[in-house]
């Protein structure tokens, strides 16, 4: 019994000998001890604008490019999966979309420690987040990581969801028939902007 305590890819060799001095051929084996889940990172690229919202930090009018990286230095990154969840959508999808799943070939010659893939979100009027998870060859799965909030808006949705309200200070006299207000002093005009999708900017 060979106790293995260090997380790594191990190689071990053995040979038997009899009382007469004859020795067997040397036999070699390999094993991987990986007790740590992989790591996963989400990065938003090519955002048109940055808005300092606490929950929805990225705003675009055309598309988002999302870069996802899985890292595992011991047994190697094997899978990357993701799903999109829109604001107000209840529950989770039944199945995540798998970005890749690699079969292990040779851990000593192939660099399996890191994989990066990109996906494009071009779904019109999307408002939500992307959730990703990585798996390694030892069977561990990373904690689920999420992107900051994303708002992808077309001009049409802004025209549909945006409006401005103008309020005038009380008039000295109003002609109800002609719908005209008369003032003898400076007028205070209050403008209120509303947008139910992406918020109001000045």
Residue 158 confidence class, pLDDT cut points 50, 70, 90: low
Residue 19: predicted pLDDT: 92
Provide the mean pLDDT of the chain.
Answer: 81
Q: What is the pLDDT of residues 89-145, one digit of tens each?
A: 765 555 667 766 776 666 556 677 888 888 888 887 888 888 999 998 888 999 988
**3-class SS of residue 26:** coil
Question: How are beta strands 126-136 and 149-152 bridged, if at all?
Answer: antiparallel
Find all residues with CB under 8 Å of 29, minimum gap 6, and list them.
11, 12, 13, 14
Say how far apart CA 171 and CA 152 lie, in whole Å.
42
Residue 156 confidence class, pLDDT cut points 50, 70, 90: low
Min mean pLDDT across 42-51, 91-100, 163-172 is at 91-100
Q: Which residue has the higher pLDDT, 38 or 115?
A: 38
**3-class SS of residue 155:** helix
Q: Which residue has the higher pLDDT, 160 or 89?
A: 89
């Amino acid at each position: 019994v060979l106790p293995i305590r260090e997380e790594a890819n191990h190689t071990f060799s053995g040979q038997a000998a009899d009382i007469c001095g004859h020795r067997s051929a040397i036999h070699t084996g390999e094993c991987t001890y990986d007790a740590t889940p992989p790591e996963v990172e989400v990065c938003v690229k090519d955002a048109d604008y940055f808005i300092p919202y606490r929950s929805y930090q990225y705003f675009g009018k055309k598309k988002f490019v999302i870069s996802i990286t899985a890292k595992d230095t011991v047994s190697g990154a094997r899978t990357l999966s993701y799903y999109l969840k829109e604001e107000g959508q209840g529950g989770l999808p039944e199945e995540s979309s798998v970005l890749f799943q690699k079969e292990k070939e040779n851990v000593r010659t192939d660099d399996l420690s890191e994989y990066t893939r990109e996906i494009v979100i071009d779904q019109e009027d999307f408002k939500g987040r992307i959730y990703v998870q990585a798996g390694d060859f030892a069977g561990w799965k990373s904690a689920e990581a999420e992107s900051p909030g994303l708002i992808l808006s077309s001009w049409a949705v802004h025209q549909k969801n945006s409006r401005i309200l103008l309020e005038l200070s009380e008039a000295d006299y109003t002609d109800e028939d002609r719908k005209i207000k008369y003032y003898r002093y400076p007028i205070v005009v209050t403008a209120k902007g509303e947008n139910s999708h992406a918020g109001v900017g000045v």
